[in-house]
Amino acid sequence: MNVIRAVGRLWLVPVTLVAWEIATRAAGQPFFPPPSATLARMGEMWLSGPPAHLLLTEQAMSDFGPSLARLFAGWALAAVLGVAAGVAIGCSPRLSGYLDPLIHLGRAVPPPLLVPFFLALLKLGTPAQLATIVFGIIWPILLNTIDGARTVDRQHLETARIFGFSTAQRLTRVIVPAAMPKIFAGLRLALSLALILLIVAEIFAGSGGLGYRLLSAQRTYLYADMWGCLVVLGLLGYLLNSAFLLLERRVLAWHRSARQTT
């Protein structure tokens, strides 16, 4: 039943691919290679390696390895910083009074504009790239955590006071779990932003990685390579989001069910 429904929803994908194939073949433009050529090139670039390496080529390692490492490192760093700062600010009206204007100013700066700044401040390559990613994606995490920590149910907090919870208990057992649904919404948004900023950072501030590959393919007229990068980035974004949704469903099982029953 589920399979039939999934197929029912997915039929548009092959239809689009076929239409695209026909259109690009008919047009015969070098800028728009047919999907079949793009796919073949992708296989050649990344999946023609030895079986011992799961068919991954050297190039796949050097394209995906550093990119994924930067993506996850940046995301994790932003998560830790954003949640820690967000809980602190959300719990303290004074702190949030001071910092709210700064946060909204910082959030309004388009993160790619800061690449030159980070390049001047930090070393070219990973440090500047990580700084760009973290600065760009921390805002949804920070703002959602602040909101979540600020709006914990009053009775949850009073119960904690009545039973004399320590500060650590109040934070880890009450405030953070209560804010978790909002924190997760922020983390998910940040994950998709991280992919965008990763590419921006790699195009402007680095050598190696998918963004760099994309740029150099475009500059050397390797359009099938360039399209391959685009396709793989789309797939990557889709996979990351799906994996995150699975995680969220597990961690927030209480939240979904509690909302259904009350």
Partner 1 sequence: MLEITDLVHSYGSHRVLDGVSIRAAEGELVCVVGPSGCGKSTLLRSVAGLIRPTGGRVLIDGQPVERIPDNLAVVFQDYSRSLYPWMTAANNVALPLRRRGLDRRRRRDAAMAALDQVGLADAAEKYPWEMSGGMQQRVSIARALAYRPSLLLMDEPFGSVDAQTREDLEDLVLRVCAHHGMTTLLITHDIDESVYVGDRVIVLTRSPARVAADLPVDLGESRDQIATRQLDAFVRLRAEVGRLVRGGSPTPTVLEKH
Q: Which amino acid is at 232?
A: V
Q: Does 164 bind partner 1 (CB under 8 A)?
A: yes
Q: Which of 153, 221, 243, 247 touches partner 1 by CB under 8 A?
A: 153
Q: Does 100 bind partner 1 (CB under 8 A)?
A: no
Q: How far is CA 220 from the centre of its chain?
A: 29
- Using CB under 8 A as the binding rule, whether residue 171 contacts partner 1 is answered as no
Looking at the Cβ atoms of 36 and 166, the one nearer to partner 1 is: 166
What is the CA angle 95-100-104, rounded to 5?
Answer: 155
Least separation in angstroms between residue 248's CB and partner 1 is: 14
Minimal distance, residue 148 CB to partner 1, in Å: 13
Binding mask 13-52 for partner 1 (x = CB under 8 A): ----------------------------------------
The correct pick among 56, 77, 174, 185 for binding partner 1 (CB under 8 A) is 174
Is 58 a binding residue for partner 1 by CB under 8 A? The answer is: no
In the bound state with partner 1, the residue whose beta carbon lies nearer, of 2 and 260, is: 260
Residues 176-205, mask of contacts with partner 1 (x by CB under 8 A): -xx-x-------------------------
Q: What is the contact surface with partner 1 in residues (CB under 8 A)? A: 153, 155-156, 158-159, 161-166, 169, 173-174, 177-178, 180, 254-255, 257-258, 260-262
